Chain A
Amino acid sequence: MAPEIPDAIIRVRDISVRFGATKVLDGLNLDVKRGEILGFVGPSGAGKSVLTRTIIGLVPKVSGSIEVFGIDLDAANAAARRGVERRWGILFQQGALFSSLTVRQNIQFPVREYLNVSQRLLDEITVAKLGMVGLLPEVAGRFPSELSGGMIKRVALARALALDPELVFLDEPTSGLDPIGAGDFDELVRTLQRTLGLTVFMVTHDLDSLYTACDRIAVLGNGKIIAAGSMADMQASEHPWLRAYFHGKRARAVMG
């Protein structure tokens, strides 16, 4: 049971999700503080992505309530929901860039839909966003199929950040990147979080990301949050999965 946090940007209460007869999430509670980077871990298939997709409304839940920015998403009407959706950005695991649009059009797409700004400002903001995620303006004319895996993640992040959201969901942002690329990406998330005052909800398996980027870690198991807290709390925990995860061979290598 997560402790009550007063200024929570996401407040998940008693969520249950089923696929057929399988219970994926079972009475799960979770709070995400404003301005923090929350790392979300758990064994493969435990439902990390399902929870993310439930919060953003892609997976229907059986019971429970979800509040984002203090707005109950079930009670909200279409306009209020759209207002919330405008304030968050999502980086999907495979990037989910629109394959028939160029990088420039991908980044400008949400801005063009929500704001009535001039093409000049759109182009300037695109260059600024590309710069923020560490890409050169030259990639703007390319199509997603002409980008490397790391570049796809960066462009997808730039698109997620296009409207200057307050909250960003990252689904395994560093999977499939080389360790140096992954390290750069963690650094990037940290920098962006500082400059833009973001709240970041990051599903990850990357221990390096947990060490370097995250303020707080939540662990999912058996459809519930097993533990939530700082890295030190995680390492001190006696839970068998946590011990295996944070004291395993890979974890020791990361800690040095």
Chain B
Amino acid sequence: MNGDPTLERIAQGNGLALCATGSWTARFAPVLEQMVAEAERLTGSRPDIFIDVSQVSKLDTFGAWLIERLRRSLAHGGVEASIAGLSANYSSLVDEVRRVKATAVVDTTSMTITGVLDQIGRNVAGFGTTLIGLIDMLGAVLAAVGRVVIHPSGFRLTSTVHHLEQVCWRAVPIVLLITFLIGCIISQQGIFHFRKFGADIFVVDMLGVLVLREIGVLLVAIMVAGRSGSAYTAELGSMKMREEIDALRTMGFDPIEVLVLPRMLALIIALPILAFLGAMAALVGGGLVANFYGGVDPEAFMLRLRDAISIDHFIVGIVKAPVMAAVIGIVACVEGLAVEGSAESLGQHTTSSVVQGIFFVIVMDGVFAIFFASIGM
């Protein structure tokens, strides 16, 4: 019953019979396609051709279509081939296939040089659109803040606290661990190189200034962009995909007020706290390494630290944190709300949320450095 399919050419006087046998099914599709192509080529222009399918034991859409393809190609060459011996079981299938219009399915995704250049051009032009999107979101968030200030009952405290737990409380262990390790590394490297000049103790100056002004907040902001920015984008993106955001809107709620504002606020509260904890952990890590590796005892370390740094250093660092949090939050929410229907789109926007978040954090840090240098802090 499942015999291999064949297609024989039998000359009959002036005409030609094409005898199909065996199982014309999807399983044998590659073989069948070759046989049909060969038959099309070798049949030539005989005036009288019929396709005998009485020996076909099994037929499915693939087989029926290939027979139909053979018939059409013969018809194209000016020969009207008739199909003989079709069993009643399969006649409706053959009729169905005969109705198929020979429309070419055009593949739109082609990989060419112009296509690549086209994509690069669109991406560059898209950067402007991204900036406008961010400013637009900033405006929408500020408007929502205004509304909440006028009607404090619209503020969603529960949601804010929930997000605060997610982005702040649960982030504490990993932030402490990483900043502690970075503090250790900075201290070790400082001692290693300063020792050549006999200036071991200056490692405390370097550690204090670097951690409090720059590394602490920058490192924590990058971690938060990767950890919470991506989570925000994925959450909002999947809500967008399932039309949950449309549902909110039709119920008369503003998605910015309900979804974006609590998340932004949680992030703006969380990042200074995390930056502070991170800076402390880095100082502890650096102090421990200075003690055990550099032989700077804790009293000397603390004394030197008090001389080396002032409250200004700490303020310069911590002032940046809420601004960076706002940038991360806005980027994440814009990307989340830009997700379209597919899983691929969700992935792309989550990636770009993290990449853009980190990029803008570093740009902001540079802008702050110029600003503080100008005002002499």
- Does A195 make an interface contact (CB < 8 A)? yes
Which residues of B78-104 are within 8 A (CB) of A? 89, 92-93, 96-97, 99-104
B241 partner residues in chain A, CB cutoff 8 A: 145
A121 touches B344 (CB 8 A): no
Nearest-CB residue, chain B, relative to A192: B96
List of B residues within 8 angstroms of A164 by Cβ: 25-26, 60-62
Contacts of B108 in A (CB 8 A): 141
> Is the pair A127, B103 in contact by a Cβ cutoff of 8 Å?
yes
Q: Number of A residues whose C-beta is below 8 Å from B?
A: 35
- Contact A124/B343 with A115-B30, A117-B30, A131-B99 known, Cβ cut-off 8 Å: no
Known interface pairs A99-B341, A125-B62, A164-B62; A195-B96 also in contact (CB < 8 Å): yes
Given A128-B65, A164-B61, A99 and B343 contact (CB-CB distance below 8 Å): yes
Q: How far is the CA of A88 from the CA of B15 in the complex (A)?
A: 42
Q: List CB contacts (< 8 Å) of A159-198 with chain B.
A: 161, 163-164, 191, 194-197
Q: Which residues of B are found within 8 Å of A163, using beta-carbon distances?
A: 26
In the complex, are the beta carbons of B29 and A121 less than 8 A apart? yes
**Closest A residue to B347 using CB positions:** A100
Task: Given A99-B341, A104-B105, A145-B342, decide whether A124 and B26 contact each other with a Cβ distance below 8 A.
Answer: no
A143 at the binding interface (Cβ < 8 Å): yes
Mark contacts of A125-147 with chain B using CB atoms, 8 A cut-off: 1 yes-contact digit, 0 otherwise: 11111011000010011011110
Q: Mark A220-253, 1 if CB is under 8 A from B, else 0.
A: 0000000000000000000000000000000000
Which of B27, B29, B343 is in CB contact (< 8 Å) with A100? B343
Q: Tell me the smallest distance from the CB of B351 to a CB of chain A, in Å.
A: 14
Cα-based distance from A246 to B343 in the complex (angstroms):
42
B235 at the interface (CB under 8 A from A): no
CB neighbours (8 Å) of A98 from chain B are 343
CA A28 to CA B182, docked complex, whole Å: 61
**0/1 string, B228-243, CB within 8 A of A gives 1:** 0000000000000100
**Which residue of A161, A163, A195 has the most chain B CB atoms within 10 A of its CB atom?**
A195
| B185 CB → nearest A CB, Å | 41
Q: Which of B1-51 contact A (CB under 8 A)?
A: 25-27, 29-30, 33
Task: Check if A123 is an interface residue, CB within 8 A of chain B.
Answer: yes
B60 contact set on A, CB distance < 8 A: 164, 196
Chain B proximity of A164: nearest CB distance (Å): 4
CB < 8 Å: which of B61, B96, B344 contacts A125? B61
Besides A125-B61, A164-B62, 20 other A-B contacts (C-beta < 8 A): A100-B343, A100-B344, A104-B105, A117-B33, A118-B33, A121-B29, A123-B104, A125-B65, A127-B101, A128-B61, A128-B97, A131-B101, A137-B101, A141-B106, A143-B341, A145-B342, A163-B26, A164-B25, A164-B60, A196-B61
Question: Which B residues lie at the A interface, using CB under 8 A?
Answer: 25-27, 29-30, 33, 60-62, 65-66, 69, 89, 92-93, 96-97, 99-108, 241, 340-345
Give me the interface of A with B, judged by CB distance under 8 Å: 98-100, 104, 111, 114-118, 121, 123-129, 131-132, 137, 140-141, 143-146, 161, 163-164, 191, 194-197
